[in-house]
Amino acid sequence: MTHSKVHSNIVFSQHIDDELRILIQNYPEGKVFLLTDKTAGGFCLPFIQPVLDEFAIKYLAIPSGEGNKNIHSVQLAWDFLSNNGADRKSLLINLGGGMLTDLGGFAASTFKRGLDFLNIPTTLLAQVDASLGGKTGFNFNGLKNEIGVFMEPNAVLINTNFLKTIDRENFLSGYAEMLKHGLIRSREHWNELLSFSFKNIDYEALQTIIAHSVAIKEWHVINDLTEQNIRKALNFGHTIGHAFESYAMKTGNPILHGYAVVYGMIAELYLSVKQCGLGMDELKVISDWLVECYGKFEIKTTDFEALYQLMTHDKKNEGNRINFTLIPEIGKVEINVDCSKELIFEALEYYISLK
């Protein structure tokens, strides 16, 4: 695979150790650190162990999982940096999935008012979404990513070989964000994703498809880093999806982020039919395909009020209105669409009705 870049700091390479050497050689000795979690550390550290040894890089592995994306884990990272003499000339390498790159990015951005960090995402979700675009943070008071800052990583290194270590569910979770990128920006990318085989994954071909997806995310970020307008397109599926995700966590039945986004996209595609003129037949075809791949999160009409309350906490809301990104057709978006509570409930009814 040839080494290519989408944007100045996103590097696609099958030889990640070589790329890492180049990126860290300019930092003073003893000032490069690595943060990972127990899961990614076990599976993925061996890929770059020679570089860690060569540069005597100290590392910390924090507990894995969304439940540990909290202030306590941030504090572990700060303590680690503090105890090992990190300063503003230091670099923090974040190796792991989206939880780890979000949290590590936040820890680096706030320690001594900010030191350099780079992300090595090891899950598909992190490679196409979480590790890119400069959103960092952690969960607080039961709300996802409630505390955080916008800070771009110095570099993101993407290598599909890491994806051989993730299970099918986590693969599909990341694929959901790619599907979203296709729906909001490119029918061509959407069709490419529909025809890709999950059965026997071609990792080299996947690297090209990931590059297409990343380019879509990057376009939105470059044009609107702090989410004032067009970047809101990336929230398609997330307003209702985050409510599903938080509700699932609260009820002790957690679901993966990408699955929540898919369920949110189905409901928001229904809103798109009602508000923006998306075709009902298009809605049916997309919904059926998504349910076939992702199944469903069982909810009842008695859950609607709780889900609605969670939507009112969404960070994208303004002036007590729940703002949606909707799609009039595949590849086009309308942002800041206001939907009534009745219509949102109707969309949830549609979701329930799918078999």
- Where are the domains positioned within the chain? 4-166, 170-353
User: CA–CA separation, 260 vs 250, rounded Å?
Assistant: 14
Dump strand ranges (E) for the chain.
4-5, 10-12, 32-37, 58-62, 91-96, 116-121, 138-140, 143-147, 155-158, 323-326, 334-338
Q: Assess contact for 160 and 147: CB atoms under 8 A.
A: no
235 in helix, strand or coil? helix
Fold for 170-353, please state it. Answer: Dehydroquinate synthase-like, alpha domain (1.20.1090)
Which tokens belong to 128?
């196409």
Range 77-92 burial, b when 16+ CB lie within 10 A, else e: bbebbeeeebeeebbb
Q: Tens-digit pLDDT profile for the chain (355 aa)?
A: 333 333 458 999 888 999 999 999 999 999 999 999 999 999 999 999 999 999 999 999 999 988 899 999 999 999 999 999 999 999 999 999 999 999 999 999 999 999 999 999 999 999 998 888 889 999 998 887 889 999 999 999 999 999 998 899 999 999 999 999 999 999 999 999 999 998 889 998 999 999 999 999 999 988 888 888 899 999 999 999 999 999 998 998 899 999 999 999 999 999 999 999 999 999 999 999 999 999 999 999 999 999 999 999 876 677 678 889 999 999 999 999 999 999 999 999 999 999 8
SS3 content of the chain, % helix, strand, coil (to 5): 55, 15, 30
Phi, psi of 261 (to 5 degrees): -65, -40
Alpha carbon 78 to its chain centroid, in Å, reads: 23
User: What local confidence, expressed as pLDDT, does residue 315 receive?
Assistant: 66
Domains 4-166 and 170-353 share a fold: no
CATH architecture under which domain 4-166 falls: 3-Layer(aba) Sandwich (3.40)
Q: Assess contact for 224 and 248: CB atoms under 8 A.
A: no
User: CA–CA separation, 50 vs 4, rounded Å?
Assistant: 23
